[in-house]
Amino acid sequence: MGRRGPFARATLHEMCRRDGIARAWDRVTGTWTTSRSWWCLASSLALHLLAVLLFSPEPLDLRVYREAAPLVLSGGLYDYRLHTGPPIPVLPFTYPPFAALVFLPLSHLPWTALVVLWQAASVAALAVVVHCADRLLSAGPDHERPRRSRVLLWTAAGLWLEPVRHTLDQGQVNLLLAALVMAALAVPRGAAARGTALGLAAAVKLTPAFGGLYLLATRQWRAAGWALAAAGAATALAWRVAPRESARYWFGLVTDTRRIGPVWSVRNQSLRGALSRLLGHDVQPSAAWWTALTLVTVLAARALWQAARRHDLLGILVTAELYGLLVSPISWSHHWVWCLPAMMWLAHGPARNRLPGRVALVAWALVTAARLVPLLIHREDGLPRPGPYPALLAWPGAAYAACAVLTFVVITTAPHGSQQAEESRRLHTEGAR
């Protein structure tokens, strides 16, 4: 017989004898890919740079941050409008006043320099998200050591997921805030630092506040208290600087979804958006909405409970953040950057060897890598309005919500320590045959 290549030499027995994360990853990517992870990342970054240079997306959200922020000092922050085109003809500033204070330095930078720096910072934040997700995996029930090749490859792949690309194209702050939340919860530090970082992220944008569920599920009471204190202090500071704008936001605009955008649009991948398209009208408030919200809440609570029981830290955080995206009135597709940690959990977590986990991973990959939402947006923009929403667009338009619910189910049914040990022994036996 001739000389065998690396794939032939890696027997099933050897794969089962390695740590579980390496086995699952090697099955997907192969030895060739993991050994060239640096090249994969470099190639992905080069293609990203080429795409930016050739297509030059207009980061409209970054422009809003830059132009609206100074108005927090002079007044009229929530009167600002960036005129674009239908179906969302104007873009207002929709964040709390504290966010405008954070964005103030952006107004002093030249536009081109700001765009370059923001892109670089967002790509770096993506790497931080992946690295911290890997750390949480290593602290989970498998107690596996972090793997550099996995971090590099997931960073390379993450650049091409639709929520990440949309965030980069629009100049959104999502990746930066996700990196702050992940670093706060994954890097060892005291309760004060953890809670303060999470609280400041929530003061900039409300969605990261659902990370507080992670602190509660892991019984980090002091950190949760620090998070509340930090968010309160940041809000109080903004109120001190801009009392009129703060009153306008917290006593009215914070619940006004109409100024953010159309709830019914497929751009909105929240539970409310999905149901509104399926039923043909805004479901809130209605019996259908409250029933769906109750079911999703019960399922998420069950997933949190099961993940906490097996000390599955990434599973807890993924559940908390996906739940926040589901129950928010509007969750634009670029908000769903948390799909990347979810996919990492599905690929390397306790359910990686089970069929539901693999189905959920493939579903996320198809929906995000195939850019389903932009395709549906293109079709939606050609629809006559007002008019009934086509079922052929409504059903696939619920893809992100469906993937999130499926992920909750997988997290809930993932094996615990004894079950996982039994599965590992079974795989080891099969590999020895």
pLDDT, position 117: 96
- Rounded CA separation 312/412 (Å): 11
pLDDT, position 30: 53
Which structure tokens are listed for 39? 């090249």
Residue 158 CA, chain-centre distance (Å), reads 11
pLDDT, position 138: 84
Total residue count of the chain as it appears in this document: 433
Give this prediction's pTM: 0.87
Domains of the chain, residue spans = 10-413
Residue written as token pair 């359910």 = 351
pLDDT, position 304: 97
pLDDT, position 145: 56
Say if residue 55 is exposed, middle or buried (CB neighbours under 10 Å; 0-12, 13-18, 19+): exposed
Query: What are the C-alpha distances in Å from 343 to residues 24, 31, 48?
Result: 13, 20, 21
pLDDT along the chain (433 residues), means of 10: 40 42 50 73 93 88 96 93 82 95 96 95 97 88 68 95 96 96 89 95 94 95 96 96 95 89 92 93 87 96 96 96 96 96 95 94 96 92 80 93 97 77 42 39
**Beta strand residue intervals within 12-170, DSSP E:** 82-85, 88-91
Query: What are the C-alpha distances in Å from 254 to residues 83, 326, 328?
Result: 21, 17, 12
pLDDT, position 282: 87
